[in-house]
Structure 1
Amino acid sequence: MTTIETQLDDTTFTTYESEVRSYCRNWPAIFDTAQGSWLTSIDGKQYLDFFAGAGALNYGHNHPALKEALIDYLVRDGITHGLDMSTRAKGEFLQTFADRILAPRNLDYKVQFPGPTGTNAVESALKLARKVTGRESIISFTNAFHGMTLGSLSVTGNATKRAGAGVPLVHTTPMPFDNYFDGAVEDFSWFERVLDDHGSGLNRPAAVIVETVQGEGGVNVARAAWLRALQELCADREILMIVDDVQMGCGRTGEFFSFEFAGITPDIVTLSKSIGGYGLPLALTLMKPELDIWAPGEHNGTFRGNNPAFVTATAALNQFWSDDLLTRDVHRKGEIISESFGQLSAEYEALSHRGRGMVQGLVFDEPAQAGEVCALAYEAGLLAETSGPEDQVVKLLPPLTIDEDDLSHGLTILSDAVATVQPTMRAVEK
């Protein structure tokens, strides 16, 4: 067998890869290795990662404890592909998830393994809600993002992503997310009115699907009181509540589940991204036991039995969720980010900030400036992305395990980038 010697450069990707590629257009480096919070390109330049695989790498790149568990499993010829057969790796994950996550929080959920991505988990949640209730309609929220397959797109707010569907996206109705009207309209006034008015034309929904923090939508944060009121509204009207925790779960906001701070218990929860621990694809759909009315094989997927992901997921749960050290660490580092963004917002009136835990957003009145800041940060060796309907938010998703010195270094890069675009921004009068 001969080996093809490849000299990689940009032309390899522009020649052979689809025009659909996106992140590499803003970050054209060709990355080769990664460790912790750093990536290294093939030319040896290092980049600090404030992106973390869009939240799939909460524990950083190649964490030693997770890597060791994965290597040991592969070396002993552990099963890699198992569909939904019973395997040791899956059994150990289920028991560890119950012991480390569900039991300490007094949560009683059955675990479904759909296909191994977030949108697969959302699709199964929507299907199950419709099956349980016998209703078709789903309520979503303005600026929501839930995935790129048709069901998930139907409850997504972004017009560009919805347009890619190519077919009508039906049986869903958007409602205003918390503070959508900047406090000018009472929470849920429209939602409650159309639900209870027999002349509104709104079909009784099967479920509501919500993110506690809308990451792709611009780091829009729902208040605890708003989430509690939403759960009460749903319970009073026999509507299922689905929390999409694909990006905000697994500690991103501090606690394992992003809804814990509100004291609510959703009927269905979707998890993916960092639940695999190591960046390996895995997704879970959690449901209250009485909702588990699936017929065998009614919702399945070829790669729902990704056993190496079960191994790294189990290792991550044991490594990081046997106590509250990570939660306290996330809250502390989140305050560091928030303080840095607060100082910038105080200095420049064209800026504001918002977030929870280690998902934070710096919001620009002039959307183009967010992209300029991210471009300057990339040149200085920092990966950060924009989000929001106009890409007006610099969104930070650093690994939860990032060293505080590295965190401060990255925040300094961002501050310097903001200062560089200062001529186009008016500083607040002192």
Structure 2
Amino acid sequence: MDIFNKQESKVRSYSNSFPVVFKKAQGCWLETDQGERYLDFLAGAGSLNYGHNNAQLKQALIDYIAADGITHGLDMHSEAKAHFLQVLQRVILEPRNLNYKVQFTGPTGTNAVEAALKLAKKVKGRSSVVAFTNGFHGCTSGALAATGNKHHRQGAPEGSLSGITRIPYEGYAGVDGLGLFETMLNDNSAGFDKPAAVLLETVQGEGGLNVASNQWLQRLSKICKANDILMIVDDIQAGCGRTGTFFSFEPAGIQPDIVTLSKSIGGYGLPMAVVLLKPELDVWKPGEHNGTFRGNNHAFVTAAAALELYWSTDALETHIANCSARVSQKIEQQVKRYPELFVGLKGRGMMIGIECQNGAIASDISRVCFEKGMVIETAGPNDEVVKFFCPLTITEAELDQGLSIFAQAVEATAEKLFKKAS
């Protein structure tokens, strides 16, 4: 550990919770340099929906590299990019009756959000954007301004995060946020400048697995259309099947004006991010949103392979639904057994978790899980939600093994708390 403590910045975080040196990984398993194996219920914070070193995606990448395929090409045309665009259109967009152009941004989610915000403001000629309580959109300045989390926001200079009006998300403090939004839009004395766009996650990941109902999303979509406001869905964590459908907004039957994707869109964990935008919004001039690494051809290869392999049929969606039911059942059992520890189940699909009474309980459960051979993180305003984020390709046997570890961690945490209370 000496080299990390000596050379790496204190800004690192995950390694503080999981202080081992990982050497290799396969599927939903991580292995350390000491040969210890851990079930991965973190999955790169949603970047590894298809698991570590997925054999078929790896072979596609190896074949491409062996043939001296283009690695880096800025935004020049390449066969790998063409193939990805063709597969995205055929497998994802056309079956869902979605008509989007594709913008390749720098290979991070926050860069895709920055591009989406810039584009919305450029199209509408307005400078403000509405975001929601508990939203998380990234840590660069524009995306961070839209992020609600105090811990992340304090990383920026005071007063630098502007241009955002915050509205209560569905269920926040019992407030009808959309009613407030609509009232302020139609009140000349509200002091509220019409925004270029609203930016939201349909399931808030870092914010604690808060789920917007279909009705709420439909209502928001109607408000946006009636007031000439663009709707941007940040599907960076919730997309690519994590909530059960490829796009998280599909069950609501809405069609956002702009969608951001990153994390698992690359298929293999390779950095990649895109903005999907309705064709009439494509008013960019060449190079207006730039980036040296907006052409990760290796990611194009694995992304296309993942879409063809997992989204040409409904087999993965069925598997996600079955896994979600198993996790939900285990969570409900624990909530019923230990009401002193838990509030209830949160999330949707395999973007799911258990809300604890406080962050200390969630932290204890996560720590004990790690001691017993499983990596799992917490989320929420006070890190009070234990977040089940295993690869979507996990087998039922592996999932049950992870749920067993979770149950053991809950029992150990309960025993500790009850002893302390007595």
Q: Secondary structure at the match of 1:294?
A: coil
Distance 1:91 1:423 in 2: 57
Q: Is the 8 A contact 2:168 2:176 kept in 1?
A: no
Equivalent of 1:96, from 83, 87, 93? 87
Equivalent of 1:140, from 111, 131, 147? 131
Equivalent of 2:169, from 172, 177, 180? 177
Equivalent of 1:192, from 178, 182, 186? 182
Distance 1:185 1:12 in 2: 49
- Normalising by structure 2, what TM-score? 0.97
Residue by residue, what CA displacement relative to the aligned partner does 1:249-296 show, whole Å, maximum 9, x if unpaired? 000011100000110000000000000000000001000000000001
Equivalent of 2:217, from 227, 232, 235? 227
Partner of 1:48: 39
- Normalising by structure 1, what TM-score? 0.95
1:355: Cα distance to partner? 1.2
Partner of 1:164: 155
Structure 1 position 403 matched with structure 2 position 395:
yes
Structure 1 position 71 matched with structure 2 position 62:
yes
Distance 2:192 2:162 in 1: 13
Partner of 2:380: 388
Structure 1 position 376 matched with structure 2 position 368:
yes
Residue by residue, what CA displacement relative to the aligned partner does 1:158-189 show, whole Å, maximum 9, x if unpaired? 011011111421110110011112xx434522
Structure 1 position 202 matched with structure 2 position 192:
yes
Opposite residue 195 of structure 1, the aligned amino acid is L
Q: Secondary structure at the match of 2:218?
A: helix
Q: Is the 8 A contact 1:117 1:272 kept in 2?
A: yes
Q: Is the 8 A contact 2:233 2:258 kept in 1?
A: yes
Distance 1:150 1:354 in 2: 29
Q: Is the 8 A contact 1:46 1:381 kept in 2?
A: yes
1:8-407, aligned counterparts within 5 Å? 10-167=1-158, 168-181=160-173, 184-186=174-176, 188-349=178-339, 350-351=341-342, 352-407=344-399
Q: Secondary structure at the match of 1:188?
A: helix
1:423: Cα distance to partner? 3.5
Distance 2:97 2:48 in 1: 27
Gaps of 5+ in 2: none
Distance 1:187 1:146 in 2: 19
Q: Is the 8 A contact 2:365 2:410 kept in 1?
A: yes
1:385: Cα distance to partner? 0.3
Distance 1:348 1:207 in 2: 43
Partner of 1:3: none
1:361: Cα distance to partner? 1.4
Distance 1:186 1:74 in 2: 53
1:425: Cα distance to partner? 5.2
When the two chains are superposed, the root-mean-square deviation of aligned CA atoms in Å is: 1.0
Distance 1:276 1:390 in 2: 31
Distance 1:215 1:256 in 2: 16
Deviant stretches of 4+, over 3 Å: 184-187, 423-426
Opposite residue 262 of structure 2, the aligned amino acid is S
Opposite residue 401 of structure 1, the aligned amino acid is T
Q: Secondary structure at the match of 2:302?
A: helix
Distance 2:352 2:414 in 1: 21
Q: Is the 8 A contact 2:123 2:281 kept in 1?
A: yes
1:389: Cα distance to partner? 1.0
Distance 2:322 2:142 in 1: 37
Distance 2:355 2:134 in 1: 15
Distance 1:358 1:347 in 2: 22
| Residues 190 and 326 (structure 1), Cα distance of their counterparts in 2 relative to 1, 3 Å cut | same
Distance 1:345 1:366 in 2: 14
Opposite residue 243 of structure 1, the aligned amino acid is V
Q: Is the 8 A contact 1:154 1:172 kept in 2?
A: yes
| Residues 201 and 411 (structure 1), Cα distance of their counterparts in 2 relative to 1, 3 Å cut | same
Distance 2:73 2:337 in 1: 55
Q: Is the 8 A contact 1:348 1:425 kept in 2?
A: no
Distance 1:174 1:424 in 2: 40
Opposite residue 215 of structure 1, the aligned amino acid is G
Q: Is the 8 A contact 1:116 1:303 kept in 2?
A: yes
1:136: Cα distance to partner? 0.6
Q: Secondary structure at the match of 1:199?
A: coil
Distance 1:345 1:335 in 2: 15
Distance 1:160 1:282 in 2: 26
Distance 2:362 2:327 in 1: 17
Gaps of 5+ in 1: 1-9
1:367: Cα distance to partner? 1.5
Distance 1:386 1:218 in 2: 8
Opposite residue 259 of structure 2, the aligned amino acid is V
Residue by residue, what CA displacement relative to the aligned partner does 1:390-425 show, whole Å, maximum 9, x if unpaired? 111111111000011110110111111111111465
Residue by residue, what CA displacement relative to the aligned partner does 1:218-250 show, whole Å, maximum 9, x if unpaired? 111111111111101111101000000000100
Q: Secondary structure at the match of 2:208?
A: coil
Opposite residue 244 of structure 2, the aligned amino acid is G
Q: Secondary structure at the match of 2:98?
A: coil
